[in-house]
């Protein structure tokens, strides 16, 4: 087995040495390739210079070919000279490149100038031909002289560009030769360095086995000490060492994953225990609320029947206001008896509040002004916690106007601003002290003992917190001393209450 392992290790090292040799040879070939590319580039520069000179030479020959036909045409009115002249002009136009291409090279700009001069020459030549046809002797005579001057100027320009191009070519060629010699030297140095590098790699492979094994032993010691946060071991070594490192990483990650799963399971169990405790607290609070509700009903059926008897008696005695008062009281009491659910349609809450408003108008005809601003289209579309409006209004009646003179105003409004259904009870009373507001808006735990005013404002707020434990702004109180109070219940219609019975 040891002989087999030694064979595999030796084979892996031999493979790496083979790849290193290929790598060195590749670099050497690249160096020779660079030299070849530079040689071809030098040839391209020479070819380009020759093409430029050839194009200018062809233009010069064509311009030279125009001079004799134009002299013959102007002197003898020869039709064959005119045909040769027009043919040569068209040939020159075909040779000229596109002058719309934007360039910024100096030599190209000089050639572009020559092209424009030739264009001007051809245009002026056509004008001279037209003046000859029109027998304008002074005109075509002067035009011919101008053409001759322009011809000489173009010839000088072509010679100037050729000379500059030749000088530029000599400079480029000299620079290129210097670069070529430098690259030859660098290539030779690179080859020597590659050979030295290959030899150093051979020596380096001695450490490719001992160093990884040493690192593996250190990491194993850390794992035995319980440290699983270290990064995975990664070696660029022979295959056998890489396989050992990969197996070591898998073992470390598996143990770490198992420990993390145990921690997650423990966290889940703690969360489930907390949820169970919360459910028990909810059940206890529900039972307590049911007890308070039963205590507050005070034999409701007997009281309801007694109120109906009072209504009948008032009708017999023709006491209409008393009858209205008793009917509204009976309607309000009927609502209180009927609503056994925690959530009711908004219309039920509205009808109960309207009956309560009618009772208040009879009780306080001159000292209390009541406003009910509700969009009735909302009443059949939404639900709300039962018995929230009347207790808040009753709290305002009992406490908001104790020391205030004049007429007090209580305004109730219901609006829908997606996704919030906003129920507002606003008064212009004496206001609530900030300390009291803070106490009212503090959610109470299951150990909190409800006061005797269990069906009042405090109870409404705590029930809202109970139904919407994750909505911190389900109740808002905006109050200023001496100016009034605005109590707002924000029901998020996209969030289900924790209890919907």
Q: What is the pLDDT of residues 201-229, one digit of tens each?
A: 767 766 666 677 777 777 777 777 777 67
- 423 sits in which H/E element: strand 420-427
- Residues counted in the chain: 501
Which CA distances in Å does 448 have to 222, 276, 445, 470, 473?
Answer: 52, 19, 6, 19, 21
User: For residue 421, what are the β-bridge partners?
Assistant: 416, 491
pLDDT score at 80: 72
Contact 70, 147 (CB under 8 A): yes
The residues, any chain, with a CB within 8 Å of residue 385's CB and separated by 6 or more, are 342, 343, 344, 460, 463, 464, 467, 497
Which CA distances in Å does 479 have to 390, 410, 420, 464?
Answer: 19, 14, 21, 19
User: What CA–CA distance (Å, rounded) separates 121 from 116?
Assistant: 9
pLDDT score at 447: 46
Q: What is the pLDDT of residues 465-476, one digit of tens each?
A: 888 888 889 999
Residue 78, Cβ density class (10 Å: 0-12 exposed, 13-18 middle, ≥19 buried)? middle
Angle at 467 between CA 462 and CA 471, to 5 degrees: 85
Look at residues 397, 390, 395 and name the one whose alpha carbon lies nearest to residue 368.
Answer: 397
User: What CA–CA distance (Å, rounded) separates 479 from 192?
Assistant: 89
Look at residues 25, 51, 50, 31 and name the one whose alpha carbon lies nearest to residue 180.
Answer: 31
pLDDT score at 306: 54
User: What CA–CA distance (Å, rounded) separates 354 from 414?
Assistant: 13
User: What CA–CA distance (Å, rounded) separates 332 from 284?
Assistant: 29
Neighbours of 137 (CB within 10 A): 11
User: What CA–CA distance (Å, rounded) separates 350 from 376?
Assistant: 9
Domains of the chain: 2-204 (1.20.120.1730), 298-338 (no CATH), 341-501 (3.30.565.10)
Helix ranges, 205-299 (H)? 207-224, 239-297
Q: Is the bond leading into 267 cis (omega within 30 degrees of zero)?
A: no
Can you give the pTM of this predicted structure? 0.43
pLDDT score at 240: 66
Q: What is the pLDDT of residues 364-401, one digit of tens each?
A: 888 899 999 998 889 999 998 888 898 899 899 888 88
The string of DSSP letters for 477-490 reads EEEETTTEEEEEEE
Whose structure tokens read 């590659």? 194
User: What CA–CA distance (Å, rounded) separates 3 from 9?
Assistant: 10
User: What CA–CA distance (Å, rounded) separates 205 from 202?
Assistant: 6
User: For residue 420, what are the β-bridge partners?
Assistant: 417, 492
Angle at 369 between CA 367 and CA 373, to 5 degrees: 170
pLDDT score at 392: 92
Query: How would you classify residue 135: left for phi > 0, otherwise alpha for psi between -120 and 50, otherwise beta?
Result: left
Which CA distances in Å does 154 have to 112, 164, 314, 469?
Answer: 12, 15, 126, 94
pLDDT score at 501: 54
Contact 8, 168 (CB under 8 A): no
User: What CA–CA distance (Å, rounded) separates 412 from 48?
Assistant: 92
Which CA distances in Å does 41 have to 27, 30, 37, 38, 173?
Answer: 21, 16, 6, 5, 11
The residues, any chain, with a CB within 8 Å of residue 398's CB and separated by 6 or more, are none
What is residue 134's three-state secondary structure? coil
Distance linking the first and last C-alpha atoms of the chain: 76
User: How does pLDDT run along the chain (501 residues), one tens digit per residue?
Assistant: 444 444 344 446 566 667 767 776 776 677 677 767 766 766 666 566 566 666 676 777 777 767 777 777 666 666 677 777 777 777 777 767 665 555 556 666 677 777 777 777 777 777 777 777 777 777 777 877 777 787 778 787 777 777 776 666 666 667 767 777 777 787 778 778 877 776 777 677 666 666 777 777 777 777 777 776 767 766 666 666 777 777 877 787 777 777 888 888 888 888 888 777 766 666 666 655 554 454 444 445 445 555 665 666 566 666 666 666 666 666 666 666 555 577 889 998 898 888 888 888 888 888 899 999 998 889 999 998 888 898 899 899 888 888 888 899 999 999 999 999 999 999 999 999 999 999 999 887 544 444 444 347 888 898 888 888 888 899 999 999 999 999 999 999 998 887 655
């Amino acid at each position: 087995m040891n002989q087999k392992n030694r064979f595999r290790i030796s084979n892996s090292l031999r493979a790496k040495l083979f790849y290193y040799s290929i790598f060195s040879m590749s670099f050497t070939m690249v160096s020779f390739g660079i030299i070849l590319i530079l040689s071809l580039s030098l040839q391209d520069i020479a070819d380009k210079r020759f093409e430029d000179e050839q194009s200018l030479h062809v233009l010069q020959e064509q311009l030279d070919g125009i001079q004799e036909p134009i002299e013959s045409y102007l002197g003898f009115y020869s039709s064959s000279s005119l045909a040769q002249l027009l043919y040569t002009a068209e040939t020159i136009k075909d040779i000229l490149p596109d002058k719309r291409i934007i360039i910024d090279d100096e030599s190209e700009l000089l050639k572009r100038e020559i092209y424009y001069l030739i264009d001007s020459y051809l245009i002026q030549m056509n004008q001279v031909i037209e003046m000859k046809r029109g027998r304008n002797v002074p005109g075509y005579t002067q035009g011919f002289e101008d053409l001759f001057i322009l011809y000489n100027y173009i010839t000088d320009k072509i010679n100037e560009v050729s000379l500059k191009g030749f000088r530029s070519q000599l400079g480029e060629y000299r620079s290129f030769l210097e670069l070529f010699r430098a690259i030859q030297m660098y290539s030779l140095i690179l080859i020597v360095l590659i050979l030295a590098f290959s030899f150093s790699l051979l020596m380096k492979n001695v450490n490719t086995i001992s160093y990884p094994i040493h690192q593996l032993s250190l990491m194993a010691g850390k794992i035995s000490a319980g440290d699983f946060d270290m990064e995975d071991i990664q070696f660029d070594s022979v295959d056998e060492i890489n396989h050992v490192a990969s197996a070591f990483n898998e073992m470390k990650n598996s143990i770490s994953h198992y420990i993390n799963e145990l921690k997650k399971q423990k966290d889940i169990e703690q969360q489930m225990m907390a949820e169970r405790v919360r459910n028990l607290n909810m059940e206890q609070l529900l039972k307590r609320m049911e007890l308070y509700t039963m205590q507050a009903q005070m034999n409701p059926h007997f009281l309801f029947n007694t109120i109906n008897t009072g209504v009948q008696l008032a009708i017999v005695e023709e006491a209409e206001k008393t009858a209205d008062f008793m009917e509204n009281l009976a309607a309000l009491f009927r609502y209180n008896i009927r609503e056994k659910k925690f959530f009711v349609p908004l219309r039920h809450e509205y009808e109960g509040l309207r009956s309560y408003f009618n009772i208040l108008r009879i009780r306080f005809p001159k000292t209390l002004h009541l406003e009910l601003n509700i969009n009735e289209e909302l009443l059949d579309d939404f639900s709300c916690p039962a018995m929230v409006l009347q207790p808040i209004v009753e709290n305002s009646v009992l406490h908001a106007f104790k020391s205030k003179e004049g007429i007090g105003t209580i305004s109730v409004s219901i609006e829908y601003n997606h996704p919030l259904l906003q129920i507002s009870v606003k008064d212009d009373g004496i206001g609530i002290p900030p300390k009291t507001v803070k106490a009212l808006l503090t959610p109470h735990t299951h150990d909190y003992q409800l006061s005797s005013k269990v069906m009042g404002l405090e109870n409404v707020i705590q029930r809202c917190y109970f139904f919407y434990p994750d909505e911190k702004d389900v109740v808002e109180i905006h109050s200023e001393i001496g100016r009034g109070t605005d109590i707002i219940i924000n029901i998020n219609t996209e969030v289900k209450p924790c209890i919907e019975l």
